[in-house]
Copies of this chain bind each other. A is one copy, B any other.
Amino acid sequence: MPIALHVAASIPLFKDFDEATLAKVAGLMSSRSYLSHDIVMRKGEIADSLGFLLNGKLQVVDLSEEGREIGIHFILPGAYFGELSVIDGQPRSASVISVKLSEVAFLPSNHARDLIFHHPLIAKRLMTHFAQIVRAASNQRTLLSIPNAFQRVFAQLQTFVRESKDGQVIEGLPKQHEIAIMVNTSRETVSRAIHTLMKMNVLEKKGTILIVKRPEKLKQVATVGMDEGENNKT
Chain A residues near B (Cβ < 8 Å): 62, 64-66, 68, 70, 72, 83-84, 87-88, 90, 93-94, 116-118, 120, 123-124, 126-128, 130-135, 137-138, 140-142, 144-146, 151, 155, 181-182, 184, 222-224
- Between A126, A138, A222, the greatest number of chain B beta carbons within 10 A of the residue's beta carbon is seen for A138
CA–CA, A128 and B116, complex, Å: 12
Residue of B nearest to A135 (CB): B93
**Cβ of A142 and Cβ of B88 under 8 Å apart?**
no
**Cβ of A142 and Cβ of B64 under 8 Å apart?**
yes
User: For A134, what are the chain B residues with a Cβ–Cβ distance below 8 Å?
Assistant: 84, 93, 130, 133-134, 137
**Cβ of B72 and Cβ of A145 under 8 Å apart?**
no
**Cβ of B145 and Cβ of A64 under 8 Å apart?**
yes
CA–CA, A87 and B124, complex, Å: 7
User: For A182, what are the chain B residues with a Cβ–Cβ distance below 8 Å?
Assistant: 141
Query: Which of B64, B90, B126 contacts A127 (CB under 8 A)?
Result: B126
Query: Which of B87, B135, B137, B141 contacts A70 (CB under 8 A)?
Result: B141
Query: Which of B72, B83, B138, B146 contacts A62 (CB under 8 A)?
Result: B138
Query: Which of B137, B146, B155 contacts A133 (CB under 8 A)?
Result: B137
Chain B nearest CB from A153 CB (Å) reads: 13
Number of copies: 2
User: For A145, what are the chain B residues with a Cβ–Cβ distance below 8 Å?
Assistant: 64, 68, 70, 181
CA–CA, A176 and B94, complex, Å: 30
User: For A181, what are the chain B residues with a Cβ–Cβ distance below 8 Å?
Assistant: 141, 144-145
CA–CA, A138 and B155, complex, Å: 20
Chain B nearest CB from A118 CB (Å) reads: 5
CA–CA, A142 and B67, complex, Å: 11
CA–CA, A69 and B126, complex, Å: 31
**Cβ of A224 and Cβ of B128 under 8 Å apart?**
no
User: For A137, what are the chain B residues with a Cβ–Cβ distance below 8 Å?
Assistant: 133-134, 137, 140
User: For A117, what are the chain B residues with a Cβ–Cβ distance below 8 Å?
Assistant: 120, 123-124, 127
